């Protein structure tokens, strides 16, 4: 907060507002979450199969593959962003 603005009535500049992000930057953060979730889903299939839930395993695997399929282009876009940022 700037003391120069004190008493002027102007709204102080928000410190924690996120700056405007590009799509590639957004992709760069999203792909990790998608892929991480896919990894967790695959690992969770193990106990599910051990308990005989083969139908659940099938659909969970498909979901994991879909998330991974989403993560790959996002990741490559995110890489491009990092390259450009460098």
Partner 1 sequence: MRALLTRAALVAARPYLIVLALDVFIVSRWFRTGTFIAGGDMGAFIRRGWAPEMTWSWNHQQTGAGSAGYTMARAFEFILIWLCRLVGLTEYSAQWLYYTCIYGLVGFGVAYLAGAFVRSHAAIVVAGTFGMANGFFLTRLPNPLNVISVGSVAFITGVAMRAALGRRMPSPIAGFALMPTSFLSFNPPMLVVAYAWAVAGTPVLAFLLLGRTAAGRLLKWFVAAAPWAIGLNAWWLVPLAQSFVGGGGATANATFADPTNWSWSQVNNLPPNILTMVANWAWFLPQYLPFAAGLDRPWWIWIRYLLPALVFVAPLLASRRLRRVALGMLAVILVFVFLAKGLRPPLSGLNLFLYLHAPGFWLFREPMSKLGQLLVSFFGVMLAVTVEGMLSRVRRAAHRLRPFTYAAAATPVLLVLAYPYPIWTGGVMPDERPTQPSMHVRVAPEWWDVAARIDADPRPGKVFVLPLDDYYQMPTTWGFFGADSIANLLIQHPVVQPKPDGYFGDVPGFAADLRLIESALLAGDLTAVPKLLGAIGASRVIVRHDLVRGLPNRYFADDRVLAAAMARVPGATLETDGLLQVWRLGSGSSPTVRTYDRVLDAPARADAGAAVLGTVGSRTAIAARPDTSVAATSPQVDDSAAVTPDVVHWPVPAVDSGAPATTVQVAAGRYTLAQRARAAPALFPRVDGGSLLLEDPTVVTVDGKAVSRRPVLRVPLPAGRRVLAIQAGTRRTVSLDVAKPASVPVGSATGLTLLAAARTPARVSGFSPVFDCNNYEPRPWAELGLTARMTGTAKKRTVRLSAADHAACTRVVVRDAAPGQIYRVRLQYRRLAGPRPQICLWQTGAAGCELAARLALSDRWTSYEGVVTMDAGGELQIILHADVGLRLAPKAVTEYRAVQVQALEEVGSREVWPPVVPETSVDLTAGRHVLRVEGGPAGSVLAPFESLEDCYRYDDQSAEQAGLAADAQVGVDGETTYTLKAVSHLACIGSTAGDVGAASLYELSMQARSVALRNPKFCLYLRGPDLCRKLPSVAVYQGWTRYEALIPPDPNTVETRLYLYGLRDLAGKQQSEVEYRGVRLRPVASSSSVVLVRQAPAAPAVPAPSVTWTRSNPAQFSGTVTAAGATTLALTESAAPGWRLSGIEGATKVTLQGWMSGWSLPGGGTFAVRYGPARVARYAFYLLPVTVTVAAVFMYAVRLPPGRPGVWDVRHRRRRVRWRPRWPSWARRAR
List residues binding partner 1 (CB under 8 A). 31-32, 35-36, 38-40, 42-47, 49-52, 57-58, 61-62, 64-65, 68-69, 71-72, 75-76, 79, 82
CA distances from 27 to 2, 32, 42, 49, 82 (A): 35, 9, 22, 33, 11
| In the complex, least distance from residue 20 CB atom to partner 1, rounded to whole angstroms | 25
Q: Which two tokens stand for residue 53?
A: 């839930």
- Euclidean distance between CA atoms 54 and 57, whole angstroms: 5
The residue with tokens 């659909």 is 59
Closer Cβ to partner 1, 10 or 58, answer by number? 58
Closer Cβ to partner 1, 10 or 65, answer by number? 65
| In the complex, least distance from residue 59 CB atom to partner 1, rounded to whole angstroms | 10
| In the complex, least distance from residue 57 CB atom to partner 1, rounded to whole angstroms | 5
Contact (Cβ atoms closer than 8 angstroms) between residue 55 and residue 2: no
């Amino acid at each position: 907060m700037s003391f120069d603005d004190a008493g002027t009535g102007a709204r102080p500049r928000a410190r924690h507002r996120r700056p405007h992000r590009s799509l590639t930057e957004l992709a760069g953060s999203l792909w990790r979450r998608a892929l991480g979730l896919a990894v967790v889903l695959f690992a969770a299939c193990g106990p599910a199969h051990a308990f005989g839930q083969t139908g659940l395993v099938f659909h969970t695997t498909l979901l994991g593959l879909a998330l991974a399929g989403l993560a790959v282009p996002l990741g490559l876009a995110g890489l491009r962003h990092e390259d450009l940022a460098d």
